[in-house]
Amino acid sequence: MKRSFTLIEIIFVLVILGILASIGSEIIVKVYENYLLSRSVSSSSYKLDVALLQISKRLSNRITDTEVTRDNSDTLFTLSIAGGTIYNHIEWIGRAYEVRRGEWNGSYNQPGYSGYLDFTESNKTEFYSPGSNFDKAGNIIEAIYGLDLNSTGNGTGVIFYDSLITNPLKAYGWDGSAPKSVHKVHKKDAKHLYFDSNGQKRASDIYLLACTAYALKHTSDDKLVLYYNFRPWNGEIYSDGNSTTLIDQVTTFKIRRIDKALEIRLCAEDNTTGTPVEFCGKKVIF
């Protein structure tokens, strides 16, 4: 004779199964929540790292002492070198490092420009730069910046090393005045550049080419926006250029200048899991 389960035994088994199901579902929910949190942390950390890398690359190729900032009313100021002042907006002129690097000729990178001026073959209308190839430089400038080095007024500028600059706002045209330290140029031949203006210039034997300025702005909608393709020496400001968002949901963007170095602190928030999680990073750029 077969023995069947009693009602109490069946109820007891169902209760145990219910308890196990409850515990199991909680474990599954926790595992899924941890997966979402892990994915959120990984994604947000990656976005933050990429934004800091882009900022670091641009700022490491800035022309030192061209940096300026703006307050909430868009009034321009120079950055204090004392290190105690915190800013949330920065603009600078970039050196055309891609042009300096040049093109691969099969054996080595041939520079587009050498950065050296020969005074013996230069004057107030043109200058000679040994080791340069302005034909190649022009090709790179047109491909990256959309400027035609062959044309007068194309926007390319030359900045000579000058330790006597006391007012960057006027020296580089940030304040809208005629720039004293940026000289617009166009190509004469592979080794020579013409100055667009024939006036007197304070030159040195070391120079840099500049094709654009940059700006970083923490906007009111919590985005960190990079502005580019504008030229203060042409009377343009950052809003005249192009822009791209580096990262959104930004909670903190702070810049501090210590002598020649810049310290950048960036924080952003992620709400993927329903609970805000803040991620922060810091870079020091020399």
* Band of pLDDT at residue 99, cut at 50, 70 and 90: very high
pLDDT in tens, 168-202: 898 999 998 889 899 999 999 999 999 998 777 77
Considering only the C-alpha atoms of the chain, give the largest distance between any 2 of them, rounded to a whole number of Å. 120
* Band of pLDDT at residue 5, cut at 50, 70 and 90: low
Residue 137 lies in a domain: yes
Q: CA-CA-CA-CA torsion for 90, 94, 98, 101, nearest 10 degrees?
A: -120
pLDDT at 103 > cutoff 80: yes
If you average pLDDT over residues 129-141, what whole number do you get?
94
Highest mean pLDDT among 32-46, 73-87, 211-225: 211-225
Residue 117 lies in a domain: yes
pLDDT (0 to 100) of residue 24: 60
Annotate 92-113 with b (16+ C-beta within 10 A) or e (fewer): bbbbbebbbebeeeeeeeebbb
Residue 6 lies in a domain: no
Lowest mean pLDDT among 13-17, 44-48, 110-114, 267-271: 13-17
Percent of the chain whose predicted confidence (pLDDT) is above 90: 55
**CA Rg, the chain, in Å?**
29
pLDDT at 252 > cutoff 70: yes
Residue 217 lies in a domain: yes
Neighbours of 271 (CB within 10 A): 10
* Count: domains in the chain: 1
Angle at 59 between CA 58 and CA 62, to 5 degrees: 95
Residue 20: both structure tokens together: 């196990």
Residue 24 lies in a domain: no
Beta strands, E only, 123-219: 126-128, 157-160, 183-187, 192-195, 207-218
Segments forming the whole domain that contains residue 217: 50-285
DSSP string spanning 9-74? HHHHHHHHHHHHHHHHHHHHHHHHHHHHHHHHHHHHHHHHHHHHHHHHHHHHTB-TT--EEE-TT-
CB-CB contact of 172 with 232 (8 Å): yes
Residue 9 lies in a domain: no
Residue 89 lies in a domain: yes
Lowest mean pLDDT among 25-29, 34-38, 92-96, 258-262: 34-38
Instruction: Write the single-letter amino acid at 82.
Output: A
pLDDT (0 to 100) of residue 198: 79
Residue 16 lies in a domain: no
pLDDT at 32 > cutoff 60: no
pLDDT (0 to 100) of residue 180: 86
Angle at 122 between CA 117 and CA 128, to 5 degrees: 50
pLDDT (0 to 100) of residue 108: 80
